[in-house]
Amino acid sequence: MSAIATLSDDEVTPHVAEVFAGEKASMGKVPNLFRVLAHAPAALDVYTGSKRFLHDGVLSPQAQEQIAIAVAAANGCDYCLAAHTGAARAVGVSAEDRASAQSGRTSDAKIQAVLDLALAVNATHGQASAPALETARSYGLSDAEILETVAHVAINILTNSVNNIVGTTLDFPKVERV
């Protein structure tokens, strides 16, 4: 059970109700993470705004979801692992790449460079990421791709941390860690 209760549709502000309506329209439901973050509408806005802006960035949806899987696995967030494994399936990431992403691996060389950089940033907060940055550049990642990778790691750390500290109740099919 979640240490911070999920809010029902009747318990939220009009602004949060609009956010919930958007999620219902796009996903068919309001995930429990949103219902927990609704206690702090500013935090919910940070998350939803960041995801919205990054969604149309230079990284492919496949790369975005594999970053989320890799970071969730590295940070022990079962909620995000489940949510993003389903999202990765929806954007066409193969079952093999969904599973491999948990270990920071993928069959696509360019996305591999993205995952290497993402996991280095996640592990070191950018302090010792120079080799991963050099590898990313050697695979031809642009400055925009590098910076968006860092942004994806940051937003995933936010949700991993919330879910891990709160114990957000899983409302996606559980995914076993590889």
CB hemisphere CA count around 78 (13 angstroms) = 13
Whole-angstrom distance, CA of residue 82 vs CA of residue 93: 14
**Whether residue 129 has pLDDT greater than 80:** no
Contact 115, 106 (CB under 8 A): yes
pLDDT of residue 2: 92
pLDDT score recorded for residue 133: 87
Domains detected in the chain: 61-161 (1.20.1290.10)
Model-level pTM? 0.96
Give the mean model confidence (pLDDT) for residues 144-169: 98
Average pLDDT over residues 9-14: 98
Predicted confidence band of residue 132 (pLDDT cuts 50, 70, 90): confident
- Measure the CA–CA gap between 75 and 174, rounded to whole angstroms: 16
| 71: confidence class by pLDDT, cuts 50, 70, 90 | very high
